[in-house]
Amino acid sequence: MHHEPPWSSVGDAPCITNLHGRPLAGCLPSRRAPRILETDTFACNDVHVSHQDTPLPSKHPSAEGSRARSSVGVSESLPGVDARIVADLYRLHSASTARNYRQDWVRFASWCADRGISMMPADPEVVAEYVRENAARRSGAGDRMYSIATLNRWVASINYWHRNSGLRVPGEAACVSAAVSSVRGIYRDNGERPTRRAYPLRFGELEEIVDVSRRDATTWVKRARERRDSALLLLGFMGAYRRSELSMLAVDDVTFSRRGDLRVRCGGSHDGTVDDDFVKHVPLSRDHAMCAPCAYRRWLEVVANFHESGRPGVMRLLRGHEEFDSHVCSFAPPIVPDPGVPVFRAIRANGNISAATLSGSAIHAAIRRRAALAGYPDEVVSRVGGQSLRAGATAERLLDVSQLS
């Protein structure tokens, strides 16, 4: 099978994560990390490596102070907890476990205090609501803030302080497990914050999926969908993008170089401040069929035709079967009248293109549909999704590095 290294030309490297899944320095635009108070890394199966919580209210000086100080060996007070029990924490547990128990409790206590409800003992219904409310929180990019693993850890921490205070453990109540499993079901259905490792789509597999998609494109609407999905798949893979980044991409974030490579601005604000922009270089591939700039240009042509003359324009463009047998990425890019529009949009059954951007969940679903169409077994399809492109790109990248050494 033809196999080409995903990054074959010299240029700005795409955002690469280290072995712990954290982006290397300079990979994340700084405006993504506005205020860091509580950093929560989670099961490293996901492309998101950390997030920032919103700051806790400052009316709990003991909580704020305790976080700022080095905690090992220091028995500080915790709201609602007997001092001896806090002292035991450091005697019985490792520094990192102790830190989690402590921070998780401060977080919960603060949440209860804001609502004027009892934290110790906590009513199981309150804990269930705490889980549901936090599960519903989303980042600015529209993704869930907290993984199931994190929510479970919070419940375990609440349990810890209750158990050690000789109180009934609220997390063991049926309403709390029901809340956690309901959240898990919602996450799973939308491919959000998966607890299982995303299936990494490798270059060869992507080649097969794109090939099947193109052979299946027998009507003009299917051709439009194929162009969008191939652009999603190839750009997502070659640029090692998160689905939220693909979702937020606007037409004017992407520019073609003279030889066809793409320069993709991500995380750039559209309010005139460009300091925080981070530009990725997506090179063209040897094989036109797997060329991300070609796939992007083919989709952009659909978008441009739609903005120029609506559905009939797209129909005219895609009515006849068109050979795609060599690179088109160095041709003059199609002009989209309003370049601020999102790149990836929903395509309705009648071929109309939605004005709104394709959500992270919709991107996840599109990738999954393509894998199913290419005949992947259900077991694999259930693990394919929004994270598979970045995971696959990372795997290829690591493979290339390991083959070199």
| Binding stretches for Zn ion (CB under 5 A) | 284, 291, 293-294, 327, 329
Sign of CA dihedral 285, 289, 291, 297: positive
Q: 107 vs 327, which CB is nearer to Zn ion?
A: 327
- How far apart CA 381 and CA 389 sit, in angstroms, is 13
Instruction: For the CB of residue 376, give the shortest distance to Zn ion in the complex, in Å.
Output: 26
Residue linked to tokens 């919602």 = 186
Q: 172 vs 287, which CB is nearer to Zn ion?
A: 287
Q: 182 vs 255, which CB is nearer to Zn ion?
A: 255
Instruction: For the CB of residue 285, give the shortest distance to Zn ion in the complex, in Å.
Output: 7
- How far apart CA 368 and CA 365 sit, in angstroms, is 5
Instruction: For the CB of residue 297, give the shortest distance to Zn ion in the complex, in Å.
Output: 8
Instruction: For the CB of residue 207, give the shortest distance to Zn ion in the complex, in Å.
Output: 15
Instruction: For the CB of residue 9, give the shortest distance to Zn ion in the complex, in Å.
Output: 12
List CB contacts of 342: < 8 A, sequence separation 6 or more.
Answer: 247, 248, 249, 250, 251, 356, 357, 358
Q: 198 vs 291, which CB is nearer to Zn ion?
A: 291
Q: 45 vs 257, which CB is nearer to Zn ion?
A: 257
Residue linked to tokens 């549909």 = 369
List CB contacts of 156: < 8 A, sequence separation 6 or more.
Answer: 171
- How far apart CA 227 and CA 240 sit, in angstroms, is 19
- Tokens read off for 279: 């530009």
Instruction: For the CB of residue 150, give the shortest distance to Zn ion in the complex, in Å.
Output: 41
Instruction: For the CB of residue 260, give the shortest distance to Zn ion in the complex, in Å.
Output: 5
Q: 100 vs 285, which CB is nearer to Zn ion?
A: 285
- Tokens read off for 8: 């074959």
Q: 148 vs 291, which CB is nearer to Zn ion?
A: 291
CB 101 within 8 A of CB 160: yes
Which helix (H) or strand (E) is 346 found in, with range? strand 345-347
Q: 122 vs 282, which CB is nearer to Zn ion?
A: 282
Length of the chain: 405
DSSP character at residue 278: E
- How far apart CA 160 and CA 164 sit, in angstroms, is 6
Nearest to 281 by CA among 250, 240, 251: 240
Nearest to 391 by CA among 186, 140, 211, 205: 205
Instruction: For the CB of residue 241, give the shortest distance to Zn ion in the complex, in Å.
Output: 18
- Tokens read off for 59: 């009316």
